[in-house]
């Protein structure tokens, strides 16, 4: 942001910025010392003023993409106090959105504020479907899972289809994974 520096009590002014007015607007990026020399009837006086710059708060996010049903921690830093659009006033909040959601935090230090937004994307868990099979003793069947990118069966198989020949009623479990999100189905 910017601030206005105003010198008074002299006829002419000379700032170290090169300005020759009594008022200057400055926007330093870090703490900066400004000097003004005022002159009246050949007599001068010099004054310095330090403009302190308060850094804007920053926001870091532990995970911008989460699986449905999970949570992530949003952490703001660089300010003294915080205000989230969720109503929280701590620097860290845990969120569990059910769909992609934008969160906003305003950080304040010494009256200076900065607002940051972050979008948390929710990835749907894959829908894993498996055909249900009833077989006769001594025969086999193929179980097929669908709806995910990769698969892991309790038999050790990692394909979407497995051929099984159980000697008695058996429960098979497959976990489907898409973009790091998982879903498990039993048959």
- CA atoms of 141 and 187, how far apart (whole Å): 12
pLDDT of 63 reads 63
User: How many CB atoms sit inside 10 A of residue 66's CB?
Assistant: 20
pTM over 0.75: no
Residues whose CB falls within 8 Å of the CB of residue 120, separated by 6 or more in sequence, listed in order: 61, 63, 64, 65, 66, 72, 74, 95, 97, 100, 101, 102, 103
pLDDT of 99 reads 92
101-114 pLDDT tens trace: 999 999 888 888 88
128-146 pLDDT tens trace: 777 777 888 888 888 989 8
Task: Give the CA angle between residues 72, 65, 128 to the nearest 5°.
Answer: 105
Q: Which two tokens stand for residue 24?
A: 């200057």
pLDDT-derived band at 152, boundaries 50, 70, 90:
very high
Largest Cα–Cα distance of the chain, in whole Å? 115
Lowest mean per-residue pLDDT among 43-47, 58-62, 116-120: 58-62
Query: Is residue 155 within 8 Å of residue 163, measured between CB atoms?
Result: no
Residues whose CB falls within 8 Å of the CB of residue 131, separated by 6 or more in sequence, listed in order: 143, 144, 187
Average pLDDT over residues 39-58: 88
81-103 pLDDT tens trace: 999 999 999 999 999 999 999 99
- CA atoms of 26 and 187, how far apart (whole Å): 71
pLDDT more than 70, % of the chain: 96
């Amino acid at each position: 942001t910017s601030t206005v520096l105003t010198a008074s009590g002299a006829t002419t002014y000379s700032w170290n910025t090169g300005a020759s007015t009594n008022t200057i607007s400055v926007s330093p990026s870090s703490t900066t010392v400004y000097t003004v020399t005022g002159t009246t009837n050949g007599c001068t006086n010099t004054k310095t003023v330090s403009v302190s710059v308060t850094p804007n708060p920053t926001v870091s996010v532990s995970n911008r993409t989460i699986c449905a049903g999970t949570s992530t921690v949003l952490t703001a830093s660089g300010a003294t106090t915080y205000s989230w659009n969720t109503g929280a006033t701590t620097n860290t909040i845990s969120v569990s959105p059910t769909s992609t959601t934008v969160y906003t935090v305003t950080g304040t230090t010494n009256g200076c504020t900065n607002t940051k937004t972050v979008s948390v994307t929710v990835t749907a868990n894959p829908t894993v479907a498996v055909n249900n099979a009833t077989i006769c003793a001594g025969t086999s069947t193929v179980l097929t899972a669908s709806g995910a990118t990769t698969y892991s069966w309790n038999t050790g198989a990692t394909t979407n289809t497995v051929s099984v020949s159980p000697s008695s009623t058996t429960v098979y479990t497959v976990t489907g994974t898409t973009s790091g999100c998982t879903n498990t189905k039993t048959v």
